Amino acid sequence: MENHCGEMKTGAEKKTNRENKGKDAAKVRFPPPLVFLITIIVGVIIQSFLWPIEWGFDLKYRLVFALLPAGAGFGLIVLSFKLFKSTGQKPAPWTITPEIIITGIYRYTRNPMYVGMGLIQSAIGIGLANLWIILLLPASFFTVYHIAIKHEEVYLEEKFGNSYINYKNQVRRWI
């Protein structure tokens, strides 16, 4: 394996890289998007097999009303990805964060991707006429907070200190 200078790495250097992998990153062990997906599936199961809640809206109205949160959700995620790409970062929460992004959508929310995923979850609930998917949204946010955000914030405070704390005090977690 080559290092940044094009030289071959020794076995000790390779071992050090493996040992350091994940140490300069948030201790997130489960992909947050899967939380939203699992919650949607749970909502479908509850609606289909346990406790159906009927909605009286026609499909065309549901789809029109679902477009707004879906568009907003995808928009937040796309804007976030573009900011990550422009700074050379990866959006996966278990990767190294070389700098805090405080521009663009991050001026208004510290977690635009998670907000976007929540909006998409609500759009799916509206589109499928499944109130359970919408009612389970707080469970999605609660779970994402405990498996990801809490660890991300500890990591960012340790790495960036007062810079991140000031940002955290100025910008809301969600919206």
Domain extent listing, the chain: 11-170
Instruction: Let me know: does 74 contact 121? Beta carbons within 8 Å.
Output: no
CA distance 57 to 65: 10
Helix axes 112-127, 59-86, angle to 10 degrees: 160
Please report, in tens digits, the pLDDT of each residue of the chain (175 residues total): 333 333 343 444 333 333 334 478 889 999 999 999 999 999 999 999 988 888 878 889 999 999 999 999 999 999 999 999 999 999 989 999 999 999 999 999 999 999 999 999 999 999 999 999 999 999 999 999 999 999 999 999 999 999 999 999 999 999 8
11-170 has which fold?
A: Four Helix Bundle (Hemerythrin (Met), subunit A) (1.20.120)
Instruction: Let me know: does 156 contact 148? Beta carbons within 8 Å.
Output: no
